[in-house]
Amino acid sequence: MTDRKKQFERDGFLVLENFQSAEACDALMHRAVALASTFQLKGPASVFQTSEQARTSDAYFLESGDRISFFFEKDAFDPEGNLKNDLYRSLNKIGHALHDLDPVFHAFSRAPQMQDLVTELGLTDHLLIQSMMIFKHARIGGVVDIHQDASFLYTEPHSCIGFWFALEDATIENGCMWAKPGGHKTPLRNWFRRKEGAGTEFITLNEMDYSTEGMIPLEVKKGACIVLDGLLPHYSLPNTSGRSRQAYAIHTIDRNSVYPQQNWLQRDRAGVKGFFPEPIA
């Protein structure tokens, strides 16, 4: 077992600086601008907020698993429903199939160093189930409440692993991630799933409360990769600074695990691919 794998299993996260080049990070940010320029807001906007997602889930959100969809910050609109800023700087994220549908995100997600990393960590059977371009724009980027990724990508047995890439420097001032070393050794608290009939709901699996005690800031430079166990509680604070904190995240599950039909994110399982490159369909 390598030192990095031991550290990941001990802490529940792994910080890898200089994992991607500055040029590769810039390419993703430029591509996000291009994608956003094609989006036309028609009707009510879809807002993303971790703690309120059961309340704000809509058909657009629930159908985004195999699409490229656009989600807004909750504070992006004035009382009359108009955007306070331009559309791009009002977005919370783009998701959830960028890694399969867009060539730039596909290449980044399956770069040679990613293939080496998943091999080293013993994750070669993992499938890329979800991807997100996360903006955290200056002065509008909202809080991401403390949560476990496995709540949103539930499998039996647990297998969710995330890879979070800093496309810009992430600091305490602009809303970096916080996590507790070893926090993944606690149980899964809840399951965010489709509700019978319509909508979504959080189901309590364990009554243990989340705690920020022992949490440390994961400040990283542009190009860093943070690997996250799906059971690791983590969060980020609002970005009140004048600098954005853009990031890209992919989430994976073991191809041999059970992925329930109640999970909010649904895709044709036969079309979900792994890390090793295949042509975009």
Is 76 part of a structural domain of the chain? yes
64-82 pLDDT, tens per residue?
A: 999 999 999 888 888 888 8
172-220 pLDDT, tens per residue?
A: 999 999 999 999 999 999 999 999 888 899 999 999 999 999 999 999 9
Q: How far apart, in Å, do the first and last CA atoms of the chain sit?
A: 36
User: Any idea what the Cα angle at residue 165 is, between residues 192 and 276, rounded to 5°?
Assistant: 85
The reported pLDDT for the residue numbered 91 is 93
Is 278 part of a structural domain of the chain? no
Is 14 part of a structural domain of the chain? yes
Which residues span the domain enclosing 103? 3-271
Query: pTM value?
Result: 0.93
Is 279 part of a structural domain of the chain? no
Burial track 81-118 (b if 16+ CB lie within 10 A, e otherwise): eeeeeebebbbbbbbbbbbbebebbbebbbbeebeebb
Is 22 part of a structural domain of the chain? yes
Q: Whose structure tokens read 């860093």?
A: 224
29-42 pLDDT, tens per residue?
A: 999 999 999 998 76
- Count the domains in the chain: 1
Are the beta carbons of 175 and 245 closer than 8 angstroms? yes
What's 199's domain CATH number? 2.60.120.620
Is 280 part of a structural domain of the chain? no
Is 161 part of a structural domain of the chain? yes
Is 26 part of a structural domain of the chain? yes
Is 8 in a helix, a strand, or coil? helix
Structure tokens that stand for 234 in this block: 């983590």
